[in-house]
Amino acid sequence: MKAIRQHIQQLGVTLLELMLSLAIIAVLLILATRYYEGARLSQQVNQAGNDIQAIVAAMANKTAGNPNYSATTNCMKDLMATGYLPSVWGSTASTANPWGGSYTCAVNSGSAGQGQVQIAAAGLPSTACTNLENMFTGINQNSSPCDEGANNSATFTGLFGTGTGNVPDDN
């Protein structure tokens, strides 16, 4: 009888092996989620930076022949209506940013052929707001740093006209 019992092998997995497998899977899922969230935030910040640069460049192109240009209160709508910004951005005074908030812009005419376009981005996560501010450190005259109030917004000021260098730092 003892000889028969010695030849029976265990089939299946033990509870300890199952728990270890689940723990490894949980760790891998947590790491993948953190990586995805970081990569997504980085992509959204880059998209917002490109959008802000596009608005400043569109304003510079629009005002190239008219340095004393003074926009209506609907700067975004004006840039889209005249074809300086693509119509896919929308047709209203504000346009959605990657976080679902909006971009709005206003123009202040300056002296000596220079003007300022102020682009407000609302609905930003605080990390994204800080990253955007860092991206535009070289050209930005922040009229309002990251405002973590109800709107969580920041305003970026870009210069256009003669003698302006509107290229963000390569961080």
Strand order in the sheet with 95-96: 95-96, 102-109, 114-121, 153-161, 144-147
Residues recorded for the chain? 171
Residue with the two structure tokens 């949980």: 26
Residues 6+ apart with CB under 8 A from 117: 55, 56, 59, 75, 105, 106, 107, 108, 157, 158, 160
Number of domains observed in the structure of the chain: 1
> Is the residue at 1 inside a domain?
no
> Is the residue at 144 inside a domain?
yes
Q: Which of 40-44, 61-65, 111-115, 138-142 has the highest mean pLDDT?
A: 40-44
> Is the residue at 171 inside a domain?
no
Quote the pLDDT of residue 32. Answer: 94
Predicted confidence (pLDDT) at residue 68 exceeds the cutoff of 80? no
CATH number, residue 43: 3.30.1690
Residue numbers of the domain that contains 42: 12-161
Q: Which of 4-8, 40-44, 63-67, 69-73 has the highest mean pLDDT?
A: 40-44
Report residue 42: phi and psi, to 5°.
-60, -40
DSSP E strands, 33-169? 95-96, 102-109, 114-121, 144-147, 153-161
> Is the residue at 168 inside a domain?
no
Quote the pLDDT of residue 35. Answer: 92
**Residues 90-136: pLDDT tens digits?**
666 567 888 888 888 887 765 544 677 788 888 888 888 888 888 87
> Is the residue at 3 inside a domain?
no
> Is the residue at 169 inside a domain?
no
> Is the residue at 155 inside a domain?
yes
Predicted confidence (pLDDT) at residue 17 exceeds the cutoff of 70? yes
The arithmetic mean of pLDDT across residues 31-59, rounded, is: 89
